[in-house]
Amino acid sequence: MPDKQSAVLPLTEKQRFEFNKLKKRLRRQVGEAIADYRMINDGDKVMVCLSGGKDSYTLLDILSSLKLNAPVSFDIVAVNLDQKQPGFPGHVLPQYLADSGVPFHIIEQDTYGVVKRVVPEGQTTCGLCSRLRRGALYRYASENGIDKIALGHHRDDILETFFLNLFHGGTLKAMAPKLLSDNSKHIVIRPLAYCKERDITEYARLRDFPLIPCNLCGSQPNLQRQAMKEMLREWDKRFPGRSDTIFGALKNVAPSHLADPNVFDFAHLDTLRSGKRGEADNGEGLDILGM
């Protein structure tokens, strides 16, 4: 995508300096995530799932910018799923993408009608909606030689998901920066994994992306996720850098110091022990017995 400075809001010299710093930071973080997890290989065809929100616009913009001088050659196609929600401005994304020069495809599928027909009134529609949306995108990927499916989840999404699973699901699980789909047919990547939401929000504002509201379906917001977002925001206010530390912990896991026997082989530790039964290693562990 051409770096269309005309798309940036009018800025003072100082604001433009700050914008360029922000763009460089996002480019660096996306580049680091791609390198750390080997998200994109030479010759890959990458499908960027574009919803019309700030995250997916930023993902497409930064990936398109990196593509110009990346050490590997890859192609990008932007794909949007028009779910036929009432009031969805179907002209916005095609016009934006045509102006930007990015190859794109709009999938038209009335998942909204299916969800409203199947889900009882008053219940959340998000679960079924996301499954239908994922199915449509996976199908397009299979039929069009897509190597990688890029989603716009960022660092804050990953942390919120971690705490949702911890507090409400009883699992130590977050969003993987790179994963294999359940049917083992698709590689899903999240190049914004190292990017903070506040940076993406500011970047999208300055780029003046034509954002499409995410509440057109009338579904209630995910109140539990919102609670996690507020918790992390409060922590960072009281303890600056805490979210950075927690995210760092997700990259620095010690399975032997957790408690899942399916992840670490506790049962056969005896076979790895050096020395004879009853012998202490260099006196370690004796002080606690008063010896």
Q: Where are the alpha helices (DSSP H) in the chain?
A: 13-36, 54-67, 92-100, 111-118, 126-143, 155-164, 197-207, 223-238, 242-250
The ranges of the chain with pLDDT < 50 are 1-6, 280, 285-286, 288-291
Contact 221, 215 (CB under 8 A): yes
pLDDT at 37: 98
pLDDT at 210: 96
Residue 288 lies in a domain: no
Taking the C-alpha atoms of residue 97 and residue 64, their distance in angstroms, rounded to an integer, is 12
Taking CA 145 as the corner, what is the angle to CA 144 and CA 147, rounded to the nearest 5 degrees?
130
Helix (H, G, I), strand (E, B) or coil at 253: coil
Residue 284 lies in a domain: no
Residue 88 lies in a domain: yes
Contact 44, 73 (CB under 8 A): no
The total domain count for the chain is 1
Residue 46 lies in a domain: yes
pLDDT at 219: 59
Q: Which domain holds residue 180?
A: 5-250
What distances in angstroms separate CA 165 from CA 175, 224, 291, one per listed residue? 10, 11, 43
Comparing CA positions, the residue from 59, 56, 75 lying closest to residue 67 is 75
pLDDT at 58: 98
Taking the C-alpha atoms of residue 34 and residue 70, their distance in angstroms, rounded to an integer, is 11
Residue 96 lies in a domain: yes
Residue 71 lies in a domain: yes
pLDDT at 4: 45
Residue 273 lies in a domain: no
Comparing CA positions, the residue from 55, 95, 52, 97 lying closest to residue 76 is 97
Residue 275 lies in a domain: no
Taking the C-alpha atoms of residue 231 and residue 223, their distance in angstroms, rounded to an integer, is 12
DSSP 255: G
pLDDT at 282: 54
The CATH number covering residue 182 comes to: 3.40.50.620
Number of other CB atoms surrounding residue 276 within 10 Å: 6
DSSP run (H or E) holding 287: none
pLDDT at 217: 60
Comparing CA positions, the residue from 8, 1, 35, 68 lying closest to residue 194 is 35
The answer for residues whose C-beta is within 8 angstroms of residue 271's C-beta and 6 or more apart is none
